[in-house]
Amino acid sequence: MVQRFRPPRFWVPPPPPPPPPPCAVKAGFDDLVHDLLLAGANPNVRQSDSHGTPLHTAAKLGLANTVSVLLSSPSTDKNALDNNGCSPLMDASLHGRVTTVKVLLAAGADAGMRGPWDAASALSLAAQFGEIGVMKALLEHGVDVNDGGVGRWSALHWAAQFNSAGCVAVLLDAGADINDMSEKSEGQTPFHFAAKAGSNEALLALLRLGASVDQKNDDGLTALHLAGRVEGDDMDHTVDILLRWGASEQAVDQDEKTSSQNRRLFNWRGRGSAPS
């Protein structure tokens, strides 16, 4: 009987080691993550949905020890960006993971990187989400408190817009420019942002810490002009605060119109709601 030809057996290399499984990272199984890294696992493997790395996952969840284990690999990209344009430091910052933020900063994570939301930095994201502890950690590390730069909102603008009064106080105490008018903000200070957004706690914090109630933006509008133009009964309190702090109803804009000539403010006063 003629035997069928069989090709010689060749040595087949074993498959590459698996990446740190998301379940191991999410569960904080640090020993398993460490062993996988020692076996040559790729620490920068991307998730199919978010395109984030294991470091993103650990940072977002605040697993500081797991973050340290992942950073122990020289191959770990500490500044990798996911589909949202966020680095692990940005994720940790907006989720309020103070200890994780400190670990990432100590490992050399870039605190000056910009995210997708109006080029927000880690400090700006912390201000936006009211994460005071994260802000303090970033500022203690030496992050520029006036990090907005040309064409970007400053962290103080973000805190004012999103009514983070505590963040406003921390930023001003650290030397933030209360009168900052960036190009991106269309020549408006954080105080103007707070008034237009109806962010009353932040508005009061800015007033108590030195904001000028009648300061004008690049269009010659005061905070009272801006607040009076916004529809909605929830703005009544904003107008009330400004008037109680001495805002002038006779201040004119570039069109020589006063805030009291604004239909919204006129109607508001016509209801008898003006402070005594």
Radius of gyration, CA atoms only, the chain: 26
Count Cβ atoms within 10 A of the Cβ of residue 252 and give its class: 0-12 exposed, 13-18 middle, 19 or more buried.
middle
**What's the pLDDT at 211?**
97
**What's the pLDDT at 139?**
98
Closest CA to 76 of 45, 101, 48, 99: 45
Residue 224 lies in a domain: yes
- The DSSP bridge partners found for residue 258 are 252
Residue 95 lies in a domain: no
Closest CA to 113 of 136, 76, 87, 132: 87
Q: How many other C-beta atoms are found inside a 10 Å radius of the C-beta of residue 12?
A: 6
Residue 193 lies in a domain: yes
How wide is the angle at C-alpha 72 spanned by C-alphas 67 and 75, nearest 5°?
100
Residue 136 lies in a domain: no
Q: For residue 105, what are its two tokens?
A: 């900063």
CB 192 within 8 Å of CB 176: no
Encode 18-45: b = buried (16+ Cβ within 10 Å), e = exposed: ebbbeebbeebbbebbbebbeeebbbee
CATH (domain of 208): 1.25.40.20
**What's the pLDDT at 276?**
35
Mark the ranges of the chain whose per-residue pLDDT is less than 50: 150, 270-276
**What's the pLDDT at 133?**
98
Q: How many other C-beta atoms are found inside a 10 Å radius of the C-beta of residue 82?
A: 20
Backbone torsions φ then ψ of 258, nearest 5 degrees: -90, 165
Residue 107 lies in a domain: no
- The DSSP bridge partners found for residue 252 are 258
Residue 45 lies in a domain: no
Residue 175 lies in a domain: yes
**What's the pLDDT at 270?**
46
Residue 228 lies in a domain: yes
**What's the pLDDT at 259?**
74
- What's the rounded Cα separation, in Å, for the pair 269 and 26? 55
**What's the pLDDT at 229?**
81
Cβ neighbours of residue 263 closer than 8 Å, sequence gap 6 or more? none
Structural domain of 239? 152-270
| Placement of tokens 């994570």 in the chain | 109
Question: How many domains are there within the chain?
Answer: 1
Dmax (CA) of the chain: 114
